[in-house]
Amino acid sequence: MSNAAVAPGKTRVGWIGTGVMGLSMCGHLMTAGYSATVFSRSRERSRPLLERGAKWAASPGAVAAASDVVFCIVGVPGDVREVLLGEEGAIAVARPGTVIVDMTTSEPSLALTISEQARKKGVDALDAPVSGGDVGAREARLSIFVGGDLDVLERVRPLLQLMGKTIGHQGPAGSGQHAKMVNQIVIATGMIGLCEALLYGYKAGLDLEKLLDTLASGAAGSWSLSNYGPRILEGNFDPGFLVEHFIKDMAIALDEARRMRLSLPGLALAHQLYVALQAQGHGRKGTHALMLALARLSEVTWR
Amino acid sequence: MSNAAVAPGKTRVGWIGTGVMGLSMCGHLMTAGYSATVFSRSRERSRPLLERGAKWAASPGAVAAASDVVFCIVGVPGDVREVLLGEEGAIAVARPGTVIVDMTTSEPSLALTISEQARKKGVDALDAPVSGGDVGAREARLSIFVGGDLDVLERVRPLLQLMGKTIGHQGPAGSGQHAKMVNQIVIATGMIGLCEALLYGYKAGLDLEKLLDTLASGAAGSWSLSNYGPRILEGNFDPGFLVEHFIKDMAIALDEARRMRLSLPGLALAHQLYVALQAQGHGRKGTHALMLALARLSEVTWR
């Protein structure tokens, strides 16, 4: 890809991974006029994009062969390794000048490896995990945490701006992933506090709907409290963000922290409580379902 | 006190406990024209109010003898017990019709006892702990969580409105204290998440000032992050709200929870980390100094 600005009709976009997030995000690029070549584990999952004119590729490498900028948003770090670093992966096939943007929430150390492997082939890589969930993806209001060379970010920024409202450069390769981990650590342990507090208030016989308003306007206020508090009180645990994905993120953060010789007791507790929640059969619920595991601890039946 | 509305020149106010909070709060009542009789552990602490014309009383009971509405904001539940329930305490002396408003953050079960003891004397009692700290008290912007009879609250509401911006009735006696505990539980465990996240980001070499802005606008955003995040990054641990007071609040919440047969692992962890922080000599710092105990855990020198 040349240093000239990206543009529809000129820049060919590739997309690997067309789950709930990828479908919306790639869709925004196509709406803006970009041609797209897509790959996902099953062709069926990409159908909404294929019906709008996206081309199907038989492998991640085939996506890279047909694209100037390759985006990737898949499940777990193992998937990222396979689609980007594998024998038929994107980097093995990409021409020099290609930019690879991994938007999966994944391991910072893997982002470094990807960046190094890409560089050997004259390919640029960014790690650019997102925050904002399926709604953020659908409404193109994601927060995007970017790690890698700033000039590479500037080249693809017009594409990222079609998906997100906040695009923050966090530092060299891996920094985007680290920044996303910081985001998840705040949320994970905060969710324990929110759920325990509501559980306490419930047992104490308080009017929680009313109390929530008072809390929101004071020092206990947070995005989680305002957005998840009412759903917790309704007993509506639809995702949002999936428990099983959150567990993956916390495991990555704990691994990275251990590697940095950093003890994070709050995050470790959150991780264990979410593992319990998953064990109780709630892995496909939203993260605010943590209330169910905390209620179960004390034999409280929640709503 | 009659059912007629309170008014300066007609309603005599009593104030027990003139620490940082009490001085500001009683000061607002005097500014509005109310006459005040005050008592505190040392007369010296009340001087700013005495110089403005408040009368000194030699005991909590003497305050009650001279007042229609008696406010109390002291240190720990033992102090509340002494000044309200003791032999020379306010309830022993108060005339029927007096209203006693305990604004100390204290035990919900003690609030119930106070309410019952008061009722026997024809006295009305409210528990009305506050949130918002010294700044909230100074600027009359406190959130006030009120437990007790609603009609009693309505009678003294004009006085509370001189101290706070949000006055929420939470239910019968003890509910104000319970609601304050809910508030503290959210904040305590959330603070672990905030500090651990920033510590992780620091070890990962991120630009935390920049990251804080991105976090604040997304799903990790909270009052604590916006207000304490920058101070933590500066290494400014002035209170805010004192660690030693926070430890008292958490101990009350844990006791009450145990009484309700409720397990709160996140709060228990927060409590222990704050106990460690106090053991490290930081009891008179602000609650966001939790960063120091978490950094100490992994031998990180914070700022």
Contact A132, A164 (CB under 8 A): yes
Region(s) of chain B under CATH 1.10.1040.10 = 179-297
Domain B179-297 CATH class label = mainly alpha
Could you list the beta-strand ranges (E) of A46-196.
55-56, 69-72, 99-102, 124-127, 130-131, 142-147, 164-171
Instruction: Give Cα separations from B34 to A129, B8, B14, B148 (angstroms).
Output: 58, 4, 10, 24
Looking at the complex, does the CB of residue A197 fall below 8 Å from at least one CB of chain B?
A: yes
What is the set of active-site residues of A? 180
Phi-psi region of B46 (alpha: psi -120 to 50; beta: other; left: phi over 0): alpha
Chain B CB within 8 Å of residue A205 CB: yes
Cβ(A250)–Cβ(A277) under 8 Å?
A: no
User: Does residue A19 register a pLDDT over 90?
Assistant: yes
First-to-last CA distance in chain A? Answer: 55
Angle subtended by helix axes A175-203 and B243-259, to nearest 10: 50
Give the residue ranges of DSSP H helices in B169-222. Answer: 175-203, 208-216
pTM of the entire predicted model: 0.93
How far from the centroid of its chain's Cα atoms is residue A168's Cα?
A: 15
Domain boundaries for CATH 3.40.50.720 within chain B: 13-172
Smallest Cβ–Cβ distance between B211 and the set A179, A188, A190 belongs to A179
Cα separation, A107 vs A75, whole angstroms: 12
Q: Which CATH architecture has domain A13-172?
A: 3-Layer(aba) Sandwich (3.40)
Contact A179 B262 (CB under 8 A): no
Q: With beta carbons under 8 A apart, name residues in chain A contacting B175.
A: 204-206
Q: What are the tokens at B239?
A: 């209170």
C-alpha separations of B165 from A188, A268, B105, B176 in Å: 31, 38, 18, 16
Q: Which residue of B has its CA nearest to A228?
A: B219
The residues in B 208-267 lying below 8 A from A, measured between CB atoms, are 210-211, 213-215, 217-225, 227, 253, 256-257, 260-267
Measured CA to CA, the distance from residue B128 to residue A49 in angstroms comes to: 58
pLDDT by residue for chain B (303 residues), tens only, comes to 555 689 999 999 999 999 989 999 999 999 999 999 999 999 999 999 999 999 999 999 999 999 999 999 999 999 999 999 999 999 999 999 999 999 999 999 999 999 999 999 999 999 999 998 888 999 999 999 999 999 999 999 999 999 999 999 999 999 999 999 999 999 999 999 999 999 999 999 999 999 998 899 889 999 999 999 999 999 999 998 899 999 999 999 999 999 999 999 999 999 999 999 999 999 999 999 999 999 999 999 998
